[in-house]
Amino acid sequence: RKEVEQDPGPFNVPEGATVAFNCTYSNSASQSFFWYRQDCRKEPKLLMSVYSSGNEDGRFTAQLNRASQYISLLIRDSKLSDSATYLCVVNMEYGNKLVFGAGTILRVKS
């Protein structure tokens, strides 16, 4: 089983749609969780950290379910500029080492 698993997509959605991504992780002792965004052949950029209580940043909402070991990202009112690959990232317990999921491709179309 992969340490971090994501649905690769692609998710093709119209502008204005709401889209949700899920991610599961294998290590129950994982300490922290993030969503990164990566555009083609560019470096990943931190979108948001994910907290147990859930957190929101504008159109983006992240949730963490420790019991089920999954993380979600909800994007509301999708924009064309949201088109990218979204990476689920987990900091495993053993040191400051991030493990990246393979990413979920989002394509927002007009």
Partner 1 sequence: GAVVSQHPSRVICKSGTSVKIECRSLDFQATTMFWYRQFPKQSLMLMATSNEGSKATYEQGVEKDKFLINHASLTLSTLTVTSAHPEDSSFYICSASARTGEEKLFFGSGTQLSVL
Residues making contact with partner 1 (CB under 8 A): 4, 8, 32, 41-46, 87, 91, 95-103
Our CB check for partner 1 shows the closer of 78 and 104 to be 104
Our CB check for partner 1 shows the closer of 82 and 101 to be 101
| 106 to 28, 43, 56, 74: CA distances (angstroms) | 28, 17, 19, 12
Our CB check for partner 1 shows the closer of 17 and 99 to be 99
First to last CA, the chain: 37
Tokens matching residue 22: 């899920």
Virtual torsion, Cα 40, 21, 72, 20, nearest 10 deg: 120
Minimum distance from CB of 6 to partner 1 (Å)? 9
Minimum distance from CB of 20 to partner 1 (Å)? 20
Minimum distance from CB of 78 to partner 1 (Å)? 22
